[in-house]
Amino acid sequence: MKHYYLELTTYLTKNKAHEELQQFVLQYHQNLVDSKELAETKVSIKKKLKEVNEKYPRCHDLVLSGWKYQSESIAVDGNFILSFCPIKTYRLVEPIPGTDYMKV
């Protein structure tokens, strides 16, 4: 199963809608999740975004965008960028008997 490291970049909030959404996504900052949890995270953020837009009708609607470059990311313009950095998996091997790995 593939794992991802979540890295959050935030910006100065413009209004209460931005502040509420930003406080919500802070829970995902510097988390390690698997593919299933990543999908749940995206759904959770989209659901919260919809709630915030309905709660603050006088504010300009927040719009979620996403892109893929070196890592997959979702963002709300001027509020935050949440990057999903894939973690490479490595296979641990047994040490070779009689080998001193600490010897330089």
- Share of residues in the chain with pLDDT > 90 (%): 58
- pLDDT tens-digit readout, 37-78: 999 999 999 999 999 999 999 998 999 888 766 568 888 888
94 — pLDDT class (breaks 50, 70, 90): low
Where does 11-104 show beta strands of DSSP type E?
A: 31-34, 64-68, 72-76, 80-87
Average pLDDT estimate for 9-24: 94
What whole-number distance in Å separates Cα of residue 46 and Cα of residue 26? 15
Residue ranges per domain, the chain? 3-87
Q: Is the pLDDT of residue 91 over 70?
A: no
> In whole angstroms, how far apart are CA 87 and each of 3, 9, 94, 97?
5, 19, 22, 30
Paired tokens of 60: 């300009």
Q: Is the pLDDT of residue 99 over 90?
A: no
